[in-house]
Structure 1
Amino acid sequence: MIIALGTLYGVLGAILAVPATVIIKALYQQFYLEPRRAEAEPVAEETRRLIAA
């Protein structure tokens, strides 16, 4: 993304691409990766319960 914006808009595009990349990464982690971790917790708890039994 940084190279693409740098190519299209020069130095200003490269400078603005850095915060845009960070925002996209944060949104990806918050809305794509975190829900998957939340769904895995009940499965892990059920596994612990079955192993302990």
Structure 2
Amino acid sequence: MVKGIMLCLAIYAAYKMGWCAAHSMIAEECRRNGGFFVGKSTFKCTEVKKDD
């Protein structure tokens, strides 16, 4: 039972870490290069700035 719970927690933690790493990587690529690619598709990024 404990092993099953630990496995579920490990899977969730790995998923969350992967999600965060992917979003950070895309943001960094957009800042540096103005875009990113996925497979054969290339995406252009524009930053939306809030006026305070």
Q: TM-score range by the shorter chain?
A: 0.3 to 0.5
* Higher RCO by CA contacts (8 Å cutoff, separation 6 or greater): 1
- The alignment's TM-score, normalised by the length of structure 1, stands at 0.45
In our comparison, the structure showing a higher alpha carbon Rg is 1
